[in-house]
Amino acid sequence: MNHVELPRTELFIDGSWVAGHGDGFVVQNPTNGSQLAELHGADAADVDHAIAAARRAFESGPWNTMSGADRGRLISRLADLVEENAERFAGLEALDVGKPYKDALMVDVAMAAETFRHMAGWADKIQGSVIPVPDHMGKARLSYTERLPLGVVGAITPWNAPTMITSWKIASAFAAGCTVVLKPSEEAPLVTQLLAELVAQAGFPRGVLNVVNGPGNIVGAALIEHSGIDKLSFTGSPEVGRLVGIAAARAFKPATLELGGKSPQIVFADADVAALAPVAAISLFANSGQTCAAGTRVLVHRSKLDEVAEALAAEAAKQRLGNPFDPTTTMGSLISERQRNRVVDYIDAGHAEGARLIAGGGTPDRPGYFVEPTVFVGDNDMRISREEIFGPVGTIIPFDDTNDAVRLANATAYGLAAVIWTRDINAAMIASRGIKVGTVWVNSFGPPHPATPWGGMQTSGLGRELGLSGVLANTEERLVNVVY
């Protein structure tokens, strides 16, 4: 694919494309530093207008009276449109994020369409329950619950997987009957502009989705502090997630926080190293390591240390860094110079703390923000093992027995995901029970399926997206007592 049609550049408010009153900003192609587009930026008044539009759509627009089945039809139509525009989405994601086009097409865009498809099915199935209770003051009592949409959701997304993560947020909010004001990452906003075009094309009532672009500390901050927002839904770093959580707590509103990770992959002594290595490498290097669930701490039974080190070094050597549109490319660039420098600093820290480099460690001599797939052998106390790098850097760490593996897996501030590699069902179950994470994979790894809940423990976040849990997170329960 050589030519990708760029989307609109304005803000999307109340069903129209409108000029922003904040500073415009340039969107860059991170694989060569060239300018892709200049987008309008919002100011606080634009955020106000977007929230007012979402409020009108929620309280008095056709969205408010539409049946769940009709909402589901619109979400399904959006799934169709994402599929019809799959190549354009993948092209924009490849240009904007720097990830391989084929990965964007096969993973991000496919999962986004699947998410809309799945959530469409929930729209008419959000139910309360009847609770058996005794009579009240000598009269019969009927007690039942209803699930009400929370209202206007303020959603903020990161740059690493914008097509997929944006779909998670808006599909579940729409299924629950909420409206959304969305602030995409200023580093990769293009696919969200396309999504807004398709929301309009699908026939969603105006104001159901509003998109306000601009920097986090201005537009994001205006959104999270705004009294017109009923729920916050954030994916990004723990540092900003904490600000979002505090803003939500101050205003007594719910927040779903999907934050970072430092996920363990535990390789037991009986594991089939040749079979696991290519998948373990995907977990480490997919999207150049810029995935929240990346299995960056490879905990290996001491008897297998050399074998795993050799296999992962060989997988790293197989990676082909380059143009995301070249079908032989397996790794693109990082998102920005800042991110590349951050990752290089971590590689330096690995050397300084005495980790043994077994693959990569450098930056290729070419334009763009590339970093080689890098593997160290080290220990769990090093900075490269404790802090989220968000780049293609993994550390192999030895363990002695199952208890030791679980202890090391839990010796982290995070708790997003874990991978367990073993053919021993007992070891898998003991480890799975013992590890404090939101998702456990046994003998594989991949993106979350939209039917299953996704979220973390500890510094990895609060609450769940996707699946029924993700839909219900956009609702509030109300109890009704009828005495007769």
Residues recognised as catalytic: 258, 292
Candidates 8-16, 136-144, 157-165, 264-272; binding stretch for ligand NAD (CB under 6 A): 157-165
Let me know: does 178 contact 151? Beta carbons within 8 Å.
Answer: yes
Q: Tokens standing for 363?
A: 């930056």
In the three-class reduction of DSSP (H, G, I as helix; E, B as strand; rest coil), residue 321 is classed as: strand
Give least dist CB 427 to ligand NAD, A.
Answer: 27
Residue 2, token pair as written in the block: 């050589």
Interface stretch with ligand NAD, choices 135-143, 218-226, 320-328, 375-383 (CB under 6 A): 218-226
Residues 316-355, one symbol each (x = binds ligand NAD by CB under 6 A, - = not), give ----------------------------------------
Question: Helices marked H in 225-380 — which ranges?
Answer: 238-250, 273-285, 305-318, 337-352
With respect to ligand NAD, which residue has the nearer C-beta, 58 or 390? 390
Q: Report, in Å, the least distance between residue 244 CB and ligand NAD.
A: 6
Residue from 151, 398, 450, 461 touching ligand NAD (CB under 6 A): that is 461
The helix or strand, by DSSP H or E, that contains position 80, with its residue range, turns out to be helix 68-84
**Residue 85 or 235 having the CB closest to ligand NAD:** 235
Residue 103 binds to ligand NAD (criterion: CB under 6 A)? no
195 lines the binding site for ligand NAD (CB under 6 A): no
Q: Is 243 in the site for ligand NAD (CB under 6 A)?
A: yes
Choosing from 254, 260, 324, 392, the residue that interacts with ligand NAD (CB under 6 A) is 260
| Start-to-end Cα distance in the chain | 68
The alpha-carbon radius of gyration of the chain (Å, integer) is 23
Q: Select from 225, 269, 304 the least CA-distant residue to 422.
A: 269
Ramachandran angles phi, psi of 16, nearest 5°: -125, 155
Which residue matches tokens 């290089």?
344
Please give the residues from 290 up to 319 whose contact with ligand NAD meets the rule CB under 6 A.
Answer: 292
User: Residue 244 carries which DSSP code?
Assistant: H
DSSP annotation of 472 reads H
Told to check if 183 binds ligand NAD by CB under 6 A, we report yes
Helix (H) or strand (E) holding 183: strand 179-183
Q: With CB under 6 A as the contact rule, which of the stretches 18-26, 94-102, 183-191, 311-319 interacts with ligand NAD?
A: 183-191
Rounded CA-CA distance 343/382 in Å is 15
Nearer to ligand NAD, 292 or 308 (CB): 292
Shortest CB 324 distance to ligand NAD, Å: 19
C-alpha to C-alpha distances, 297 to 148, 262, 266, 405, 409, nearest whole angstrom: 41, 7, 8, 11, 8
Q: In whole angstroms, how close is the CB of 461 to ligand NAD at the nearest point?
A: 6
> Which range touches ligand NAD (CB under 6 A), out of 13-21, 71-79, 217-225, 439-447?
217-225
Q: HSE on the CB side for 334, CA within 13 Å?
A: 23
| Residue 160 interacting with ligand NAD (CB under 6 A) | yes
Residue 116 near residue 78 (C-beta atoms within 8 A) = yes
Single out the residue of 224, 279, 299, 382 in contact with ligand NAD (rule: CB under 6 A): 224
Task: Give contact residues for ligand NAD (rule: CB under 6 A).
Answer: 156-160, 165, 183, 185-186, 216-217, 220-221, 224, 235-237, 240, 243, 258-261, 292, 388, 390, 416, 456, 461
